[in-house]
């Protein structure tokens, strides 16, 4: 695997998805890119929930500040939290703006314990000409309950091992890698 051809693009509000993205980068290399919006979401949790619900209802795709030369990459890891049991609108924007045809797409997710919802199906629908490998999902924080960053201490060690096992399973790391 040529690490220069790997892109790890992620969206992270509470930094849990960012922590998983960094774990992946430590193991497979590649470029790490955080999705940023032209107009950032509000800090207030209830306000962002309401805005994202409106965006999902109307199909609005928020404009991204982040631009990527997608032609440089063969393998794209897509990292995102589950928002409203769906793929977050900024990740939908990224997939609409970038043609991932012929590329290997590997989704990874953090969520509040409810799972990925429809997000992986949405990735498949928006990447119909990509090879999509088995995704990874883990519990992150529960912002609604005031639990933000959890990828530290024992939880970080546990998730790091889960990520390593997943990367081996999908063939992105050698079985005998440490």
Per-residue tens of pLDDT for the chain, all 178 residues: 677 899 999 999 999 999 999 999 999 999 999 999 999 999 999 999 999 999 999 999 999 999 999 999 999 999 999 998 999 999 999 999 999 999 999 999 999 988 999 999 999 999 999 999 999 999 999 888 888 999 999 999 999 999 999 999 999 998 765 4
* Residue 76 structure tokens: 């794209």
Superfamily of domain 3-169: Flavodoxin domain (3.40.50.360)
User: For residues 137 and 130, what is the distance between their CA atoms, to the nearest angstrom?
Assistant: 20
* Cβ burial 49-63 (10 Å sphere, 16+ → b, else e): bebbeebbeeeebbe
Beta-bridge mates of residue 110: 81, 138
Residue 82 is predicted with a pLDDT of 93
Residue 145 is predicted with a pLDDT of 87
Residue 1 is predicted with a pLDDT of 62
Residue 31 is predicted with a pLDDT of 97
CB 95 within 8 A of CB 123: yes
Beta strands at 31-34 and 6-10: parallel, antiparallel or unpaired: parallel
């Amino acid at each position: 695997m040529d690490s220069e051809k790997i892109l790890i693009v992620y969206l992270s509000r509470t930094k849990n998805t960012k922590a998983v993205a960094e774990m992946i980068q430590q193991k497979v290399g590649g470029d790490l890119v955080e999705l940023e919006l032209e107009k950032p979401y509000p800090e207030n949790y209830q306000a962002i929930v309401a805005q994202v619900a409106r965006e999902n209802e109307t199909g609005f795709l928020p404009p991204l500040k982040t631009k990527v030369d997608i032609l440089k990459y063969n393998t794209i890891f897509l990292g995102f939290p589950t928002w409203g049991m769906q793929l977050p609108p900024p990740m939908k924007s990224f997939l609409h703006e970038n043609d991932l045809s012929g590329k290997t797409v590997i989704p990874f997710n953090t969520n509040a314990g409810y799972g990925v919802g429809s997000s992986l199906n949405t990735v498949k629908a928006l990447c119909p000409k990509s090879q999509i490998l088995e995704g990874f999902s883990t519990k992150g924080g529960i912002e609604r309950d005031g639990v933000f960053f959890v990828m530290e201490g024992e939880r970080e060690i546990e998730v790091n091992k889960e990520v390593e096992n997943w990367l081996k399973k999908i063939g992105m790391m050698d079985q005998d890698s440490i």
